[in-house]
Structure 1
Amino acid sequence: GDSFGFQVIAGEGVGAGAWMYHCHVQSHSDMGMAGLFLVKKADGTIPDYEPHHAGASKSPKSSKPAESPDASDPSGGHHH
């Protein structure tokens, strides 16, 4: 299949690292409409970022389960 990519130039106030973005329509987010912007330092490195793929042999850094949003919270746990 075909693939494509793009590059985003971040402003000076954006720190290096992995920044998540997502759709604010909850059913879309539930279906996976989210991704990461990987922002590099000037030297080309990305701090604390380890790519993961299906064949990875390393275990996750933390075995603590992710917290679930409170079902009674109408924002789905998102507070901006």
Structure 2
Amino acid sequence: MALTAEEKVEERERVLDTPMNEEFDWSDDKDPVRDALWNHFMEADGKDTLATEAKMHPYLDMTNDEVKENAEKLLKN
């Protein structure tokens, strides 16, 4: 059975909506991956919301594996 549009979006964004500490064993952060990325970009962009939004937009089109890989590169200390 084919997935509905809503199910496709839900599956595609699973990593973005998962708490950091559940997605990555190296994190204690309970914020969703989406929020951790947003906060990272906001700090890097000097609190420029438009610049941060532009950097976050590609994550909506990434696969879960791509999101996880990119998040780990950016956020793992």
TM over 0.5: no
Higher strand share: 1
Q: What TM-score comes out, normalization by structure 1 length?
A: 0.21
Report the structure number with the largest CA radius of gyration. Answer: 1
Higher RCO (CA 8 Å, separation ≥ 6 residues):
2
Structure in which a larger fraction of residues adopt helix: 2
